[in-house]
Amino acid sequence: MIELYGERYFHGEWPGARGRFMARYVGDHEPTRWLPEKILADGSLLSWLQHEVRSSGLLPQLHVYRMTEAEAELAVALGAPAVALAPELQNLGTKSGSRDLARLAIQGDERYGGHLLPGREHLRSRAKVADAIFALYRDHGVRAAMIKANEGSSGEGQVGAALSPALLDALSRLSERDGRALVRRWVRKGLVGTTLNFRHPSMSWPKLMAMIESMGGVVEAFIPEVLEAQAQGQVVPQASVQFLADGLGPPRIIGSADVIEHGDLELLAGPSAHAALDGLHDFAEGLLRAAGPKLLGPGSFDFTGSARPVFTEVNTRQTAVTAPAMGVATPLAQAQYDRATGRLLDPTGRSWHWVAAGSVPLPKGGGGRPSDRAWHDPWWRPAFDTGRFEDGAFVLPTRMDQPGRVGLVAVAPETRAAALRAFDNALGQLGSLY
């Protein structure tokens, strides 16, 4: 596994870089304990790691999936800045925290106001959800809303719902007090009379309400452009602006990407001309300033729409589509991002485009082996052993958090088309193993 990653990350420099990799057996197989907890509990292992870090002469960094107190304690013990949000800033990655951050940015510059959808955050009851829906109707004439739990990926914990014709007719004739009471009854009964557009197959109205009551959530106006596009079977443009706060300087924008449909997959393709043209870089920099100096870690600001792109959330978890993109951006962290052209220039002056899949299912069993062992077994490796693809593009597999799935990143200098061809090539080879 180390050989595979090293070849893709370091290219011709891999023989020299290999000497910087060290393997150490932890000896603790308890699955409910995180690795940092195991290291902190093993005095000899911690001492060895401290010595190796301090004697390397290199600037250490700790890369983590999600920052907890254990990771923070380990970072302090090693003297290594953790490239992740601090535990007290985890709320920034929630739907409510994203809206909080956007409001701070808008207070700093009112030009950004059009990027935030009307809505309310920090909702923890059916009554609060109902009142937020009624406020959207009363104050903005909104007839469809998105209801989202604070945490969830790949559409989990989200539903889109239009106000039913019967409800709209009744609201037009009722006083404010009676209208609010009517919407509360409608929410309590599960939005009867309308089609619930759940974005994840496992979701239901009771489950969503349980999530919101447990972790909080938001209600936002359903973007008109999305409604029109869905009615016509079209795809709405989405953009993502990636940032990195590594403690070595002020937080900075390191890339941008368009979210595009590629066959049955949702991909990131960058750099994004869409983000550059619509001023999303300026708003992203305003969001970074609003987050303040305590911000530390990689992430992205996500936007939806083309006529007037609206801010949807801060993505601080290295999951799904974000993980492969950050996997490429991290070794290029010293690259310079040119906001005028939307290009990421590495230290040699080359510009980079990348395309990343969210996750691709691996063949079940892998020749008789259980699917949850698929990543650890080498049967799939030939799909990525052909080396570089046409136009100098290459493919990097990245471990996803679902058993039996793999994330793919295709990277190519200069042209997005080359990265797309490389990605298709990798998918074809992977498909031949099914």
Token pair 């974005």 in the structure block, residue: 199
Mean pLDDT of 94-109: 90
Mean pLDDT of 281-295: 82
Residue 184 confidence (pLDDT) above 90 = yes
- Would you state the pLDDT for residue 3? 59
- Would you state the pLDDT for residue 416? 61
Whole-number average pLDDT of the chain: 74
What are the start-end ranges of the H helices in 84-238? 95-108, 126-140, 165-171, 176-188, 205-215, 224-231
Q: Could you give the residue range(s) of every CATH 3.30.470 domain in the chain? A: 238-431
**Contacts (Cβ under 8 Å, ≥6 apart) of 46:** 39, 40, 77
Distance, CA of 419 to CA of 415 (rounded, Å):
7
pLDDT more than 70, % of the chain = 57
Instruction: Indicate the range of 53-67, 277-291, 313-327, 419-433 predicted with least confidence.
Output: 313-327
Mean pLDDT of 315-323: 50
Pair of tokens at residue 139:
């104050």
- By CB atoms closer than 10 A (0-12, 13-18, 19+), residue 161 is buried
Chain segment 53-97, per-residue pLDDT in tens = 888 777 677 766 667 888 888 988 988 776 666 677 777 778 999
Distance, CA of 226 to CA of 228 (rounded, Å):
5
What is the per-residue DSSP string for 281-350?
A: HHHHHHHHHHH-TT--EEEEEEEE-SSS-EEEEEE-S--TTHHHHHHHHGGGTTSEEETTTTEEE-TTS-
Residue 192 confidence (pLDDT) above 60 = yes
Pair of tokens at residue 237:
């443009």
- Would you state the pLDDT for residue 219? 97
Compute, in degrees rounded to 10, the torsion defined by CA atoms 15, 16, 20, 24: 30
pLDDT band at 236 (very low <50, low <70, confident <90, very high): confident
Token pair 């509360």 in the structure block, residue: 184
Chain segment 148-180, per-residue pLDDT in tens = 999 876 678 899 889 989 999 999 999 999 999
Which residue would you say has higher pLDDT here, 44 or 342? 44
Which residue would you say has higher pLDDT here, 269 or 46? 46
Chain segment 407-429, per-residue pLDDT in tens = 666 666 556 666 667 667 766 66
Residue 333 confidence (pLDDT) above 50 = no
Chain segment 360-370, per-residue pLDDT in tens = 665 554 443 33
Mean pLDDT of 343-350: 59
Token pair 């380990």 in the structure block, residue: 74
The top-level CATH class assigned to 238-431 is: alpha beta
Which residue would you say has higher pLDDT here, 147 or 26? 147
Which residue would you say has higher pLDDT here, 126 or 397? 126
pLDDT more than 90, % of the chain = 24
- Would you state the pLDDT for residue 323? 43
- Would you state the pLDDT for residue 374? 40
Q: Are 315 and 299 in contact (CB under 8 A)?
A: yes
Token pair 């993109």 in the structure block, residue: 325
Classify residue 312 as left (phi > 0), alpha (psi -120 to 50) or beta: alpha
Which residue would you say has higher pLDDT here, 181 or 235? 181
The pTM of the full predicted model, rounded to 2 decimals, is 0.67
Q: Are 311 and 220 in contact (CB under 8 A)?
A: no
Chain segment 197-230, per-residue pLDDT in tens = 887 778 899 999 999 999 999 999 988 777 777 6
Residue 120 confidence (pLDDT) above 90 = yes
Compute, in degrees rounded to 10, the torsion defined by CA atoms 344, 359, 279, 132: -150
Check residue 116 and report its DSSP letter: B
CB-hemisphere CA count at 13 Å for 91? 12
- Would you state the pLDDT for residue 388? 43
- Would you state the pLDDT for residue 366? 44
**Contacts (Cβ under 8 Å, ≥6 apart) of 293:** none
Q: Are 46 and 36 in contact (CB under 8 A)?
A: no
**Contacts (Cβ under 8 Å, ≥6 apart) of 395:** 8, 384, 389, 408, 409, 410, 411, 422, 423, 425, 426
Q: Are 384 and 423 in contact (CB under 8 A)?
A: no
